[in-house]
């Protein structure tokens, strides 16, 4: 389908851009180079980044106008073009979110960051766009730093011959609030999803100026980020904007999302009530509230199950359940990686209560899974594991991640000719006592893509896993297939310093295929 740009400008702006040396129709990687190789011309204006160890990083580039005032809970609008060289050496503001008891960030947050080789390469490079996790209510394109987590950057990926992109999108109630007010006050949610699509359109129009290939855009995301990708594969307005995807630790709901009615009656009604905006004029009332009040009204939560905020089936952005669209081949077919880690839920099972014994383990399983709990307990007796907590981690990891990954991979493989690869990340950071004790937990792969945290000194095994992980992901972005990791039915790649193609989860996942799980989206 034809791509519609969100960029607009006047004739005078175009003349000013021409005077700055910018390409006006098809930006090229050399258009702004000459005196300053750190300057790149986007369709909206020139930006100067910083070069370090052969990598140019250009940060904080607006891809949409600030969604403030009357633009709150509206689709993203084009950014205002600029003519003088913009500073791109610092990240833009993160989107509003809770950081402990404080509200961090600013609504003027819709920015994108690009890392690319310098000197520039002769030909266009594949593009890898990272979708952060954070439950659609936390984190940003610069990382999970506000929570002490990994910082995202392209320093490790760019030397492998790719252009790396990260970005911010609206989070929490500001990104996904839906409200059933009548007429023009109706809020349909999915504003964060529309931001993601606007960013991908920006990539299509601008990435050539950074040396990237708009026909080889590969998206990879963890947790909520990967869940957003699965939904975007079925969004009509995202068709043609990307050509590959990796869904990492992200399909506990099997690529199902909430319905608009459920979100309106759930989080939407709760936010409006908390802010005193019930009844006529609800949208205007909500838009007039201070940003911090909206963020605090109904906070998102982390846990075993998804909570509160995310995309919904609104009949427009997402016409139907993503997994249903995939099953009937109504998605954008592309090479896909799907997978998770072996101790995926280790950080989250504490929310189910302490499990010192078999009775508390059974209570936690009933709390997590509801009606099917007795069948699940028979399949996963606590006596089969070193501790009840180990049993709880295994049952929730299998039921919500590993076997959901197999289910989604099967549906994708049956609906398209393009390859589908499945993995299980089974490597722990042995030089960090805390990480070693936790195991291969949720998002444990981040340091292998981006940077080791703090003073961590990687082992030879860590470096072997890093080479494997980065090599496979960048190869799929570049070539669209992985000859050394052939898709083989239900077999998956167990990623460690001794990788193995196996299917040792078949019996467990066959059981989970018979279980109907509750999805408490609200």
- The CATH number of residue 288's host domain is 3.40.50.1820
Q: How many CB atoms lie within 10 A of CB 84?
A: 9
Mean pLDDT of 331-335: 98
Sign of CA dihedral 90, 91, 92, 93: negative
How far is 16 from 80, CA to CA, in rounded Å?
14
Q: Are residues 145 and 251 in the same domain?
A: yes
pLDDT class of 521 with cuts at 50, 70, 90 = very low
pLDDT of residue 435: 75
Q: Are residues 305 and 419 in the same domain?
A: no
**Residues in a beta bridge with 312:** 258
Q: Are residues 293 and 346 in the same domain?
A: no
Structural domain includes residue 261: yes
3-state class (DSSP) for residue 422: strand
- What are the residues whose beta carbons fall under 8 Å from the beta carbon of 304, sequence distance 6 or more? 252, 345, 348, 349, 351, 352, 368, 396, 400
How far is 477 from 466, CA to CA, in rounded Å?
16
Q: Are residues 93 and 183 in the same domain?
A: yes
**Residues in a beta bridge with 114:** 58, 165
Structural domain includes residue 497: yes
What's the mean per-residue pLDDT of the chain? 89
Q: How many CB atoms lie within 10 A of CB 77?
A: 15
Count of the separate structural domains present in the chain: 2
Q: Could you say which of 344, 405, 427, 445 is catalytic?
A: 344
Structural domain includes residue 329: no
pLDDT digits (tens, 9 = 90+) for 269-301: 999 999 999 878 888 999 999 999 999 998 876
Q: Could you say which of 29, 83, 223, 475 is catalytic?
A: 223
pLDDT of residue 216: 98
- Say if residue 58's pLDDT is above 50: yes
Q: Are residues 307 and 444 in the same domain?
A: no
Q: Are residues 256 and 361 in the same domain?
A: no
Lowest-confidence segment of 11-15, 293-297, 385-389 by average pLDDT = 11-15
**Is the Cβ–Cβ distance between 321 and 257 less than 8 Å?**
yes
Residue 357 in tokens: 């014994």
Q: Are residues 347 and 382 in the same domain?
A: yes
Mean pLDDT of 346-373: 93
pTM score of the predicted model: 0.91
- What are the residues whose beta carbons fall under 8 Å from the beta carbon of 122, sequence distance 6 or more? none
Structural domain includes residue 518: no
Question: Domain end: 257, 282, 313, which one?
Answer: 313
**Is the Cβ–Cβ distance between 45 and 17 less than 8 Å?**
yes
pLDDT digits (tens, 9 = 90+) for 420-479: 999 999 998 888 877 777 889 888 899 999 988 778 899 999 999 999 999 999 999 999
With 0-12 / 13-18 / 19 or more C-beta atoms within 10 angstroms meaning exposed / middle / buried, residue 446 is: buried
Structural domain includes residue 330: no
Whether 344 is catalytic: yes
C-alpha triplet 149, 153, 154: angle, nearest 5°: 145
Residue 91 in tokens: 């990240």
Q: Are residues 487 and 377 in the same domain?
A: yes
pLDDT digits (tens, 9 = 90+) for 165-188: 999 999 999 999 999 887 676 889
- Say if residue 147's pLDDT is above 80: no
In 3D, which of 202, 195, 200 has the Cα closest to residue 175? 195
pLDDT of residue 9: 35
pLDDT of residue 443: 87
Structural domain includes residue 522: no
Q: Could you say which of 442, 446, 472, 521 is catalytic?
A: 442
- Compare 327 and 252 and report the one with higher pLDDT: 327
How far is 324 from 349, CA to CA, in rounded Å?
29
Domain that holds residue 50: 11-313
**How far, CA to CA in Å, does 414 sit from each of 232, 408, 411, 476, 490?**
19, 10, 5, 20, 12
- Say if residue 304's pLDDT is above 90: no
Whether 442 is catalytic: yes
Q: Are residues 302 and 339 in the same domain?
A: no
Q: Are residues 47 and 185 in the same domain?
A: yes
Structural domain includes residue 202: yes
Structural domain includes residue 3: no
Question: Domain end: 283, 313, 343, which one?
Answer: 313
Q: Are residues 28 and 71 in the same domain?
A: yes
Mean pLDDT of 135-163: 85
pLDDT class of 16 with cuts at 50, 70, 90 = very low
**Is the Cβ–Cβ distance between 288 and 204 less than 8 Å?**
no
Q: Are residues 301 and 382 in the same domain?
A: no
């Amino acid at each position: 389908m034809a791509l519609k740009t969100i960029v607009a400008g006047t004739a005078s702006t175009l003349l000013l851009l021409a005077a700055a040396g910018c390409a006006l129709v098809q930006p090229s990687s050399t258009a702004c180079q000459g005196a300053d190789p750190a300057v790149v011309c986007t369709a909206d204006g020139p930006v100067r980044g910083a070069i370090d160890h052969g990598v140019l990083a250009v940060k904080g580039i607006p891809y949409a106008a600030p969604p403030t005032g009357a633009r709150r809970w509206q689709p993203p609008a084009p950014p205002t073009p600029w003519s003088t060289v913009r500073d791109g050496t610092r990240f833009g503001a993160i989107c509003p979110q809770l950081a402990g008891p404080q509200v961090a960030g600013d609504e003027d947050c819709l920015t994108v960051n690009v890392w690319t080789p310098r000197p520039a390469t002769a030909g266009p490079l594949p593009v890898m766009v990272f979708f952060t996790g954070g439950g659609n209510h936390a984190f940003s394109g610069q990382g999970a730093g506000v929570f002490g987590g990994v910082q995202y950057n392209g320093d490790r990926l760019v030397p492998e011959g790719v252009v790396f992109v990260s970005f911010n999108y609206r989070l929490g109630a500001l990104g996904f609030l839906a409200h059933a007010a009548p007429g023009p006050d109706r809020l349909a949610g999915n504003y964060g999803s529309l931001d993601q699509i606007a960013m991908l359109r920006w990539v299509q129009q601008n990435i050539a100026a950074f040396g990237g290939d708009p026909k080889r855009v590969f998206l990879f995301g963890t947790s909520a980020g990967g869940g957003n990708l699965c939904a975007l594969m079925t969004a009509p307005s995202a068709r043609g904007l990307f050509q590959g995807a990796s869904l990492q630790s992200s399909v506990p709901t099997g690529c199902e999302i909430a319905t608009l009615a459920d979100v309106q009656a759930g989080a939407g009604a709760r936010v409006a009530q908390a802010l005193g905006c019930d009844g006529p004029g609800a949208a205007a009332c909500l838009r007039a509230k201070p940003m911090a009040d909206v963020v605090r009204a109904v906070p998102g939560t982390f846990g075993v199950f998804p909570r509160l905020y995310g995309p919904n089936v609104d009949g427009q952005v997402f016409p139907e359940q993503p997994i249903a669209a995939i099953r009937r081949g109504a998605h954008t077919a592309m090479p896909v990686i799907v997978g998770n880690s072996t101790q995926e839920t280790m950080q989250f099972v504490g929310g189910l209560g302490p499990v010192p014994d078999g009775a508390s383990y059974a209570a936690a399983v009933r709390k997590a899974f509801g009606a099917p709990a007795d069948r699940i307990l028979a399949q996963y007796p606590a006596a089969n594991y070193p501790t009840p907590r180990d049993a709880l981690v295994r049952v929730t990891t299998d039921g919500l991640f590993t076997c959901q990954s197999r289910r989604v991979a099967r549906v994708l493989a049956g609906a398209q000719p393009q390859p589908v690869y499945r993995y299980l990340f089974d490597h722990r950071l042995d030089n960090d006592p805390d990480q070693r004790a936790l195991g291969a937990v949720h998002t444990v792969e981040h340091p292998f893509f981006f940077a080791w945290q703090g003073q961590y000194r990687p082992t030879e095994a860590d470096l072997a896993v890093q080479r494997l992980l980065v090599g496979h992901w960048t190869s799929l972005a570049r070539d669209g297939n992985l000859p050394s990791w052939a898709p083989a039915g239900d077999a998956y790649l167990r990623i460690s310093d001794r990788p193995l193609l196996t299917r040792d989860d078949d019996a467990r996942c066959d059981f989970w295929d018979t279980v109907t799980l509750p999805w408490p989206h609200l």
